[in-house]
Amino acid sequence: MRIVLLGAPGSGKGTQGKKLAEKYGIPSISTGDLLRAAVAAETPLGKRAKVAMDAGQLVSDDIVVGLIRERLNEPDTARGFILDGFPRNMAQAEALDAMLDEIGRPLQVALHIDVDFEVLMKRLTGRRTCESCGQMYNIHTSPPRVEGRCDSCGGRLVQRADDNEETIGKRLKVYESQTMPLIAYYRRQGKLQTVKGVGDIDDIFLKIVTALEGVE
């Protein structure tokens, strides 16, 4: 199964991507996670990426396309992959198509998780992540049992540096202007599937699994 998850920041791509990865036994690859790891490790690439990330802008195409190219060369992608947060603009989508055409394994589905903008704002400002195990929470809609602590491992819950109101606004604008055109791009290719991303996480997951029926 070779799919991309399309959706605004806060639409649930990360959450659903992880669940899909578990169900289908293929990796969910998030450029955001790869970039945050590079920033934390203070690599030269991480240092370049940090400036754009802190500003809520896109990191340059050469960096993210390079990261994806390397990641897709790993053996665990042999049976497929889920891309979360890539591609984010037209140039990246075309680069991905070219990359996959080269190896004769084209993309099968672009799954759009559709969520209204007001909901996104609330989700993003309330979002917290466990710094130890990566489990996600939302202080408004799915709080941990003990404030600031992960239910699963007891780790500390932290807010992402770019989840502040000012940067969130910028990220949503970037999504609207640069990423939303990909919906039409994949529709033209006959690969678009859309699922409403509101309500219970497991119900949304079921709708996604249904939309992916028949894709191997």
Q: Is 160 a catalytic residue?
A: yes
Let me know if 127 is a catalytic residue.
yes
Question: Residue 171, interface with ligand AMP (CB under 6 A)?
Answer: yes
Question: Contacting ligand AMP (CB under 6 A), which of 20, 64, 204, 212?
Answer: 64
Assess 109 for contact with ligand AMP (CB under 6 A): no
Which range binds ligand AMP by CB under 6 A, 15-23, 28-36, 101-109, 181-189?
28-36
Question: Which residues, including other chains, have CB under 8 Å from residue 125's CB and lie 6 or more apart?
Answer: 163, 164, 165, 168
Q: How far apart are CA 37 and CA 127, in angstroms?
A: 19
By CB under 6 A, residue 31 contacts ligand AMP:
yes
Helices (H) and strands (E) in the chain, counts: 9, 8
Task: Kindly state the smallest distance separating residue 52's Cβ from ligand AMP, in Å.
Answer: 5
Give the β-pairing of 81-84 and 2-6.
parallel
Going by C-alpha positions, the residue among 186, 170, 214 that lies closest to residue 112 is: 186
- List of E strands, 154-191: 157-158
Helix or strand or coil: residue 56? Answer: coil
Binding of ligand AMP by 88 (CB under 6 A): yes
Residues found near ligand AMP in the complex (CB under 6 A): 9, 31-32, 35, 52-53, 56-59, 64, 85-88, 92, 162, 171
Active-site positions read: 13, 88, 127, 160, 171
